[in-house]
Homo-oligomer: A and B are copies of this chain.
Amino acid sequence: MSLAEFALIDRIRARTAEREDVLLGIGDDAALLQPRPNEHLVVTADTLNGGVHFPDDTASFDIGWKTLAVNLSDLAAMGARPAWCTLAMSLPDASPDWIESFADGFFALADEHAIALVGGDTTRGPLSLSVTAMGQVARGQALRRDRAQVGDDIWVSGTLGDAAGALQLWQRGELNVATATLLADYEALRLRLLRPIPRVTLGLRLRAFAHAAVDISDGLLADLGHIAARSGVGAEVDADALPLSAALRGVLGRDAARDCALRGGDDYELCFTAAADQRDALHALAESLRLPLTRIGRIVDGQGVQCEGERGPGGYQHFAD
């Protein structure tokens, strides 16, 4: 390790949350952790690369935030409580200011969920950030993709398509030339792309209600397709029921907005299935979390995802097996 790496690690170590279950954090060959008895360990790993997963001119605070957010979102989709993470950073020629601001974004979210950074390394190279996040869930309570049952309702949290809409505008350069009347909409969409909110609390609460869950990172149709495939069932989505933000509709119009909601990734909302007799409970949960939960379809016999209201033969479009 270089001296610069030591200095960076010292700075990052000083920032990380203290947890009683971290017996030995950064600074030895490995971290020493105390898992909770009678709980399962939940582990996920996700990488963000500059120019691929975010535009090259993204602010480093936002990169730090999103690097952790996409991993917390996977823990949320399992109903797990975040505990620890590692971070492997490949940095080109990052200034101390860049790193400080990256750490500000990373730890703003880490502290909110009391997740401790317990290891990692830095290397020199094109910007790339890999996190492995670990969480815990009581035995038998994890949310999985393979537990959807025929007759379940399909639900999503929040609004869909905002991140994809923001990315489209960014790529067309329109985020910088917005007129004053549209600026608030643009800004709302931009925040959805840059600072996704992992639905950790929702995931924890859904353990009592949901049969199957997934986070929406590749797009609703693709990710719901994973639930269908792994559960051996089909899924029908009502395109008219998709929760679209006013900002997305205002900026893109209804058809393009719906397309973003179906196919756009990066929303990091949760998609889950639950028995029909849970509707009242889920509406109450939405109110208590101040987070919209919208019923968008149902689990059926068969396979693949079909979408009512989308153009296609017979009003149905068949997307994926």
Closest Cβ of chain B: how far from A78's Cβ, in Å? 5
Binary interface encoding of chain A residues 38-73 relative to chain B, with 1 for a CB under 8 A from any of its CBs, else 0: 001111111101001100000000000000000000
Q: How far is the CA of A148 from the CA of B28 in the complex (A)?
A: 13
Q: A112-154 CB contact bits vs B (8 Å, 1 = yes)?
A: 0000001111011110101011110100001011100000000
CA of A85 to CA of B265 in the docked complex: distance in angstroms? 27
Inter-chain contacts of A30 with B (CB < 8 A) = 42-44, 74-75, 77-78, 80, 133, 135
| B-chain residues with CB within 8 Å of residue A88 when the two chains form the complex | 45-47, 88, 130, 132
Cβ A84 vs Cβ B125 within 8 A: no
Question: Within the assembled complex, what's the spacing in Å between the Cα atoms of A27 and B229?
Answer: 11
Q: Is A23 an interface residue (CB 8 A)?
A: yes
Q: Residue of B at shortest CB range from A125?
A: B49
User: Bound state CA distance, A221 and B22, in angstroms?
Assistant: 28
A49 to B28, CA, bound (A): 22
Closest residue of chain B to A122, judged by CB?
B47
**A31 lies within 8 A of chain B by Cβ:** yes
User: Interface size class for chain A?
Assistant: 35 or more
CB nearest to A133 among chain B residues: B30
CB-nearest residue of chain B to A51? B125
Instruction: Mark contacts of A183-219 with chain B using CB atoms, 8 A cut-off: 1 yes-contact digit, 0 otherwise.
Output: 0000000000000000000000000000001110010
The CB with the most chain B CB atoms within 10 A, among A30, A35, A49, is that of A30
Contacts of A215 in B (CB 8 A): 29
Apart from A32-B144, A41-B41, list 11 A-B contacts with CB within 8 A: A27-B145, A29-B75, A29-B77, A29-B214, A29-B215, A32-B40, A43-B84, A45-B87, A45-B88, A47-B88, A130-B130
Residues of chain A having any CB pair with chain B under 8 Å: 1, 23-24, 27-35, 37, 40-47, 49, 52-53, 74-75, 77-78, 80, 84, 86-88, 90, 118-121, 123-126, 128, 130, 132-135, 137, 142, 144-146, 213-215, 218, 230
Could you give 29 example pairs across A and B, Cβ below 8 Å?
A1-B218, A24-B144, A27-B230, A28-B230, A29-B75, A29-B215, A30-B42, A30-B77, A31-B42, A31-B43, A32-B78, A32-B137, A32-B142, A33-B41, A33-B42, A34-B40, A34-B41, A35-B35, A43-B84, A43-B119, A44-B86, A45-B86, A45-B88, A47-B90, A47-B123, A49-B123, A86-B132, A119-B132, A128-B128
